Each structure stands twice: as C-alpha cells, then as structure tokens.
Amino acid sequence: MPDLITHILDFWFLPPGHPGHGKDRTMWFNGTPALDAEIVRRFGAAIEKALDGHYDHLARTPRGALALCLMLDQMTRNAFRGTGRAFAGDARARRIARAALARGFDRRLPRVQRSFLYMPFHHSESQGDQNRSIGLLWRVHGPGPLKYSVDHRDIVVRFGRFPHRNAALGRTDTPAEQAYLGGVHARFGQ
C-alpha cells in the first residue's frame, strides 16, 4: 500500500506513467454518487483525521500540502455532498494553501496539481480569496478557463457568500438570494 500522500495523488491525478497523468479529469468537476461512495470507501477515515488536524504535519512538503488540500477542500465535497460538512475543511485548507504558497510549494508542483492548491481560495466566500484565486489561476492557465472563477467571485461580491450553500449550512436566504436561486444561475455543484 503506498503512503497516504501517494495514494491520494495517484487517485486524483492518476499515477505517473498512466496515459491520463497530468491531464484534466472529468471526475474533478462532475461528481457522481459512485465517485462519492468510492472516495468515502477509500479515503473516508483519512478525511476525518485530516479534519481533526491529525495529518497537519504532511503540509511540510509540496505533495503533502497538496494531498491535505485535496482531502479538506475537494474530497469533503464528495464525502459529505449536500451537507454542511462538505465545507468543514475549507478554513483549514485555506490555511494550508496560504502557508504552502508562502513557502513557494506551488512552483514545485506540475501545472494541473498547482491548480488544486489554489482551489481553497476559489471555494472561499471571501472576496479577497476570490481575487487571489483569479490571479493564481491566471498565472497557471491564462485567461481561457477564468470565466468560471470570475463567476464565483462575482457571486461573492454580489451576495457576500454563495447562496447555493445556504440550505446545507442552515442559512436563511435573503430575498435577493431567493430570486437568484429561483433563476437559471450557476450553482457550482455545492
């Protein structure tokens, strides 16, 4: 059995040498019940430990920080889909990502992996984090895929949060959010 970091990175990005390694994967942004169940089966116990801070020491290396961000920011959304727990690792993931960037860890990761070190800012309900996400993703990808990030930021600017999370987090919708949620607007999965 590979170490936890390798196990997570090989699952998410495919192992080095695999034809799909280093390429975008559909599963990243199109979750399914089968994927959610597989993540719980393979990583559920590790996700719980990461949420409790048990693996914080892994953040001392670029690959370890990335693996933690994946567990806390991505896999929680699969493991706890539709509930407030889906966002339980967000603050810790942002702290880990900030520290990793301060140490230059992002520059030591391949492009596609670097993007996931930036995702905690992309998922944040802070306008400053949203702006940071756009700047970081621009450096990696250029202007092409930024529309999605700009749309995220614009929702946070408009409402101060993501209204599509309100039900899962037990928040009351404002009238403006109700109108928005009743329209044909992006909900970004969770």
> pLDDT per residue over 160-188, tens digit each?
999 999 999 999 999 999 999 988 666 66
In a domain, 121, yes or no: yes
At 163, the amino acid letter reads P
In a domain, 190, yes or no: no
Q: How many domains does the chain have?
A: 1
In a domain, 187, yes or no: no
Report the share of the chain in percent with pLDDT over 70: 94
In a domain, 150, yes or no: yes
- The mean per-residue pLDDT over the stretch 121-141 comes to 93
Note down the domain range covering 156. 4-182
Q: Is 19 exposed, middle or buried (0-12, 13-18, 19+ CB in 10 A)?
A: exposed
CA of residue 36 relative to chain centroid, distance: 14
CA 84-138-75 angle, to 5 degrees, is 25
In a domain, 80, yes or no: yes
In a domain, 189, yes or no: no
In a domain, 69, yes or no: yes
Q: What is the pLDDT of residues 135-155, one digit of tens each?
A: 999 888 877 767 888 888 999
Instruction: Write the CATH number for 139.
Output: 1.25.40.10
In a domain, 188, yes or no: no
Task: Give, to the nearest 10 degrees, the angle between helix 62-69 and helix 90-102.
Answer: 160
